[in-house]
């Protein structure tokens, strides 16, 4: 009697595992970094749209464009920034302050500088915070926002 129950339980578990594998095979593959679905929305509002993929966002601002004024950088033009020292030998990321490119730094009257996160216009002496990651063969900068949209956090 115990052997028959064990066989039935094993068969049920095998059927459940095969059903899960079949569902995964038929489901559309997810892209890395893609959102799972729209989050909760307020009543009466339209559903939230997923954020654009990173390559679409890059096309919008242009590869090699200033994150503050969105002007394309020419050859040899670089963004003015400073990098905090590493806190320890195994530290993977560091804090960076981004001031702007040659078109918008030092601040000029005709070039507006905006925070790429919240969209506010930056004061002439303001900067944007970012995280700087350095991995073998690749450097990456993730913009966090200005002092105002980060709530005064440094």
What pLDDT is stored for residue 8 in this prediction? 83
What pLDDT is stored for residue 25 in this prediction? 54
Nearest to 130 by CA among 117, 111, 114: 117
Q: Could you tell me if 97 and 127 are in contact, meaning their C-beta atoms sit under 8 angstroms apart?
A: yes
CA dihedral for 70, 76, 79, 80, sign (positive or negative): negative
Per-residue pLDDT of the chain (154 residues; tens, 9 = 90+): 788 888 888 888 888 877 777 765 555 555 444 444 444 444 444 444 444 444 444 444 445 888 899 889 888 888 899 998 887 777 778 899 999 998 888 887 778 899 999 999 998 888 999 999 888 888 888 999 998 887 765 5
What pLDDT is stored for residue 23 in this prediction? 62
Task: Give residue limits of the domains in the chain.
Answer: 65-146
State pTM to two decimals: 0.55
Distance CA 115, CA 24 (A): 40
What pLDDT is stored for residue 58 in this prediction? 43
């Amino acid at each position: 009697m115990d052997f028959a129950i064990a066989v039935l339980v094993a068969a049920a578990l095998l059927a459940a595992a095969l059903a899960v594998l079949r569902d995964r095979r038929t489901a559309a593959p997810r892209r890395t970094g893609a959102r799972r679905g729209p989050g909760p929305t307020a009543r009466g509002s339209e559903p939230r749209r997923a954020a654009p993929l990173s390559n679409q966002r890059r096309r919008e601002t242009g590869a090699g464009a200033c994150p503050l004024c969105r002007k394309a950088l020419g050859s040899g033009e670089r963004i003015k920034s400073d990098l905090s020292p590493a806190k320890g030998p195994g530290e993977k990321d560091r804090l960076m302050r981004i001031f702007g490119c040659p078109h918008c730094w030092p601040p000029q009257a005709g070039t507006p500088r905006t925070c790429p996160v919240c969209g506010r216009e930056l004061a002439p002496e303001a900067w944007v915070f970012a995280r700087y990651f350095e991995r073998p063969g690749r450097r990456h900068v993730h913009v966090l926002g200005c002092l105002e949209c980060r709530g005064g956090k440094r």
